Amino acid sequence: MAQTPDDIRAAQRLRYDVFVRELGGAGALVDHEQQLERDRYDENALHLLLKDRARPEDDQVVGVYRLLTKERAQQSGQFYCADEFDLSILEQSGKRLLELGRSCLHADYRGGAGMMHLWGALSDLAEREKIEVMFGAASFHGTDLERLAAPLSLLHDRHLAPQELRVTAQGDTAVALNMRPADQIDRVAAMRDTPALIKAYLRLGGTVGDGAFVDHAFNTTDICLILAADAVSGLQRAIYGKGRTRV
């Protein structure tokens, strides 16, 4: 976990590289001069850092998650994705919640063990804090809904959250997921067009909220992923089954 302001800035530098430079995102508090992607939630959040000690000392952070418990979200006024999704059904459930956000990996570490190391730390945190539901916005790159119609429709058809956990997209740019009938979806192609991180969450037993939010500022189309207790346990099994590494 980040311990110092320098740690948080290192996370924000990686986020800038990925979300701003690579994906073309923006935001009111993005600092282009110092190359920091930041917002008002950073001050109260936990920042989980993946470091490669073999890299130069000022460039060791190669993966990040930003984490908000309900208590930390209240310090910021709300959860981060509450601007995009109506979270009241989760907040009124009485369950211990953890919002996962701003997750990214350095380009050189994708497709390897990096995400498993981060998940190991999330598993430890979930166990320690007795987390019952993890959730957060996950993104498709781009805002072309015609291109995204098939994968979004497949998520609605196969992976919709149970009613008692089903958050809904809200706001002027909210759109329905079920853009195409189920019998008109090429499932193989649709899954191929689904981002790897979303597919990984689905394999753990994750589900999605109803609707998507088109975020023009960040050039993404966002869904809300929900990992209930069984999926949290799936995360733990995935880590333990591969030989646990504490990070």
How large a percentage of the chain has pLDDT more than 90?
72
Structure tokens at 2: 């980040």
The answer, yes or no, to whether residue 117 has pLDDT greater than 50, is: yes
Contact by Cβ (8 Å): 208, 225:
yes
Given a contact cutoff of 8 angstroms between Cβ atoms, the answer to whether 193 and 234 are in contact is: no
Map out the domains of the chain with their CATH numbers. Answer: 67-241 (3.40.630)
- Band of pLDDT at residue 227, cut at 50, 70 and 90: very high
DSSP E strands in the chain: the ranges are 46-51, 61-69, 85-86, 97-105, 133-141, 168-169, 174-175, 207-208, 212-215, 220-227
- The model's pLDDT over 132-167, given as tens digits with 9 standing for 90+, comes to 999 999 999 899 999 999 999 999 999 999 999 999
pTM: 0.89
Report how far apart, in Å, the C-alpha atoms of 227 and of each of 49, 90, 168, 202 are.
21, 12, 15, 9
Condensed to tens digits (0 to 9), the pLDDT of residues 63-98 reads 999 999 999 999 999 999 999 999 999 999 999 999
**Residue 192 pLDDT > 90:** yes
Q: Is the pLDDT assigned to residue 123 strictly greater than 50?
A: yes
Amino acid at 84: E
Q: Tell me what the mean pLDDT of segment 107-131 comes to.
A: 87
How confident is the model at residue 115, as a pLDDT?
Answer: 86
Q: What is the pLDDT of residue 241?
A: 55
**pLDDT, tens digit (0-9, with 9 covering 90-100), for 2-43:** 999 999 999 999 999 998 998 887 777 889 999 999 999 999
- Please tell me the predicted confidence (pLDDT) of residue 95: 93
